[in-house]
Amino acid sequence: MAAGLVPVVHDSGGPRELVVDTAGFRWTDTAEAVRQVERLVGDESLRTSMAETARLRANLFSSHAFETRIAEIVGNYAN
The answer to whether residues 8 and 36 touch, using CB atoms and an 8 Å cutoff, is yes
15-19 mean pLDDT:
87
Task: Note the pLDDT tens digit of each residue in 23-59.
Answer: 999 999 999 999 999 999 999 999 999 999 999 999 9
The answer to whether residues 57 and 3 touch, using CB atoms and an 8 Å cutoff, is no
Distance CA 61, CA 48 (A): 21
pLDDT band, residue 79 (cuts 50/70/90):
low
Distance CA 52, CA 50 (A): 5
Distance CA 25, CA 16 (A): 10
Residue with the larger pLDDT of the pair 8 and 77 = 8
Q: 3-class SS at 26? A: strand
Q: Taking all residues of the chain, what is their mean pLDDT, rounded to a whole number?
A: 93
What pLDDT is recorded for position 51? 96
The ranges assigned to domains in the chain are 8-78
